[in-house]
Chains A and B, each alone.
Chain A
Amino acid sequence: MSEQRNDTKFINRQSFIELNARERAEILFDTGTSRELAGPFDRMESPWLAMQGVTPQADDGCVVMKGKISGQSTVVIALEGAFQGGSLGEVSGEKLTAALDLACADNEKGIRTNAVMLLETGGVRLQEANLGLASIAEIMASILVLRRHVPVICIIAGTVGCFGGMSLAAGLASYVVMTREARLGMNGPEVIEQTSGVEEFDSSDRALIWAIHGGEQRFAMGLADALVEDDAQQMVEAVQSFIAKGVPAVHRSSEIALYRSHIAALDASRQWDPKELRAIWKADVATEDTQ
């Protein structure tokens, strides 16, 4: 991304991060082609939250929409980060899995259907523990089947980010699109601090968090395929470009030898600088930049 940008254009842009899950999903589609499936009036709520004193949400924080992007049939699944941290419970997990599986069934019948996941999530919903964990296993299995037919595109726009089990789902995606504000990681900063101590990771140090989990770093390390501004138009164009690209020749998660050698080459006896990591990891990553 160039340092110089058209400031007027940037100021007048439509923010993507400020949109809620439903608006984010809808804006990606060709105008007027989308419809929501299993929406709030279908009342697929979590049966587990109320018994633990937590108010449920009518769509369980998972929005599923079907429509056309670049004229191609596409399903978009968006997690609402404002509801329970976008966490995956039994119902939201099942909605996500079913959407991917229906897309897969269409592809197997010869009806090409792409998939986009908008992930703003802390991972498993702790109130639904094992059911959430089971959901994430199912989601990963469904992504692995679907990505043989069509690209599975993952967007992490922020500001919740994508953590826990769902970071594994993001890792299986064909393409990952991030913003500078977004974060992607297995264990979030608070979790690392709590389990390994503040000397290991200071979760109040925002510069440190973004230097490790931030979109810019993930893109520079080749763990994300596009870094876009917080701009709805740029997000739409990124999704369209990856749909046009189709299924990648090799998925990042299949590059086992490459990433094993990356990790083997790291000397864990000293502290690495995030910028050094960029130089080592990016050099021979197969996935190409889009920008």
Chain B
Amino acid sequence: MEKIEFDYPAQHKVLKRAHVGVVGSGDLEVLLEPLEGDRAHVSIQTSVDGFKDTWKAVLDRFFAKYDGAVRIEIHDAGATPGSVLLRLEQAVEVSQR
């Protein structure tokens, strides 16, 4: 198992937290919470080692469009990059509901 962390600049205050997904095979769980300040922090625990570059590529793309000041915690059980991005977008949607 590998633990990976990333930081991104952020501008918007987020008011609500969101929890989506499940740590089931090929899926992941995302916990999104408001974070004080002007940055976003992502911490990942994944059962599949050696994909730090892929995680960075997926999160770079996600944060190219999203600028919420949040703490995101990901529990991954081998989700594909596409599933990861969908779950992140779902978490944002739930936090804006």
Chain B residue total in the interface (Cβ 8 A)? 17
Give the residue of A41, A53, A54 whose beta carbon is less than 8 angstroms from that of B31: A41
Digitize B23-38: 1 where CB-to-A-CB distance is under 8 Å, 0 elsewhere.
1100101010100000
Contact of A50 with B1 at beta-carbon distance under 8 Å, contacts A55-B46, A82-B24 already known: yes
Chain B residues with CB under 8 Å of A41's CB are 17, 19, 31, 33
The answer to whether A55 and B22 have CB atoms under 8 Å apart is no
- Contact check, B47 vs A53: say whether CB atoms are below 8 A apart: yes
Q: Mark B3-30, 1 if CB is under 8 A from A, else 0.
A: 0000000000000010100111001010
The count of A-to-B residue pairs whose CB atoms sit within 8 angstroms is: 44
Measured CB to CB, the nearest residue on chain B to A80 is B22
**Nearest CB of A to B94, in Å:** 12
CB closest chain-B residue, reference A56: B75
Which of B20-69 touch A at CB < 8 Å? 22-24, 27, 29, 31, 33, 45-47
CB distance from A47 to the nearest CB of B (A): 13
A73 contacts across to B, CB distance below 8 A: none
Chain A, residue nearest B29 (CB): A57
Q: How far is the CA of A236 from the CA of B10 in the complex (A)?
A: 44
In the complex, the chain B residue whose C-beta lies closest to that of A45 is B75
Judge whether B19 and A40 touch: CB under 8 Å.
yes
- A83 and B22 contacting across the interface, CB-CB below 8 Å: yes
Is B77 among interface residues, defined by CB-CB distance under 8 A?
yes
- Which B residues fall within an 8 A CB radius of A? 1, 17, 19, 22-24, 27, 29, 31, 33, 45-47, 73, 75-77
- Which residues on A are within 8 Å of B, measured CB to CB? 20, 39-41, 50, 53-58, 80, 82-84
